[in-house]
Structures are given as structure tokens and as C-alpha cells.
Amino acid sequence: MRLINKSADTKYLTGYNTGYNSGYNEGYNRGYDTALDKGVFQGGDAIVDQFLPENVILPNISINSIIAAGLDHFYQYMVPVLPTVDIYGLIRNALELRKPLSIIRLGDGELLTMAQGMQSLEQLRQDGPFLHYAGVDLPDYADSSSCYCTAHRNRAWKSCHRFRTSIR
């Protein structure tokens, strides 16, 4: 019969778990930091580097400044959207006054469906691999043309593109 020293076993397990967790956390954090640095570079500096002429640098100009300057050129295409707090206010007001209110949320699927004819089918399939499961088999112009006129579809696509680009 083997005698078990619970105190020694507890100390062993505590030490083992402490070492294991410490090593795991250190490896996880190092990997996370490396991926974050790589993502920040590829999402900023690497893109700017593609468009800079050879043998040219932009000293003391941040990526944020470059992006802000570039966005100014697209101001005419920007589509305002209601902030969440405003939508909340509309809902609250309608409830308090017992007035009817309709809110339509256009998600990725709806916007991608309406973007047919303005974006390549290849791009739409890449951005919306879930569309088939939602009952949309591209091309599916019947669904998109019955929803909105072209002007609304154009605005919706621009909003969709802005949102999708911001989350990539």
C-alpha cells in the first residue's frame, strides 16, 4: 500500500499549474503582441508603402494623418447614418408617446444583395459566403431590384463598403 502525502501532492500540483499557466500566458501574450504588430503594419504602413514612389519617405507624418488626408477626397461620397443614441431616442419617444415606429436594419446580407450590378459577383461572393444560407444565390437580381431604386442601392452599397472595410 502506497502512502500519499497530500501536502506534497498539493504543493506539486500548485507548482506545476503555476509553471504551466505562466508559460502558457507568456506564449499567448507574445503571439498576440506579434500578431497585433504585424496587423497594424499590414493595415497601415504596408499599404502606404505600396503607393509611395521609390526612394521617398514621409518623415514625421503618421498613418492616421495620411488616412485623414485621403478621406477628405471622398467627402462627397460619405453617407450619414444615425448614431445609436439617436435611434434609441426615436424608440424611447415612440414608446412613451405610444406612436407607431418602424426601423429597418440593413445588414451585410441585405446590402450585399443590393450591391449586385455595382460590384463584381466574385467580390460579392467573397464578402458574403453566408448569402446562400440566407436564401440568396448570386446572381439574384429579383431580390435586389424589388427592394430599392438604384439611388438607394448606390447609397446602401457605399455604407456597406465603408462598414465592411472598417472591420477588416
pLDDT for residue 124 is more than 80: yes
The residues, any chain, with a CB within 8 Å of residue 90's CB and separated by 6 or more, are: 82, 101, 103
Share of the chain above pLDDT 70, in %: 79
How many CB atoms are located within 10 Å of the residue 124 CB? 20
pLDDT tens digits, one per residue of 131-150: 988 888 888 876 444 444 44
Work out the pLDDT band at 160, boundaries 50, 70, 90.
very low
Q: What is the pTM of this model?
A: 0.40
pLDDT for residue 121 is more than 60: yes
Query: Pick the residue with more confidence: 154 or 149?
Result: 154
What is the spatial distance between Cα 154 and Cα 148, in angstroms, rounded to a whole number?
A: 10
The residues, any chain, with a CB within 8 Å of residue 67's CB and separated by 6 or more, are: 44
**Rounded average pLDDT over 73-86:** 87
Nearest to 130 by CA among 157, 107, 109, 113: 109
pLDDT tens digits, one per residue of 16-65: 888 888 888 888 888 888 888 787 778 788 888 888 888 888 888 888 88
pLDDT of residue 81: 83
How many CB atoms are located within 10 Å of the residue 52 CB? 11
DSSP, res 107: -
Query: Pick the residue with more confidence: 36 or 154?
Result: 36
How many CB atoms are located within 10 Å of the residue 157 CB? 19
DSSP, res 147: H
pLDDT of residue 105: 84
**Rounded average pLDDT over 68-92:** 89
Query: Pick the residue with more confidence: 14 or 85?
Result: 85
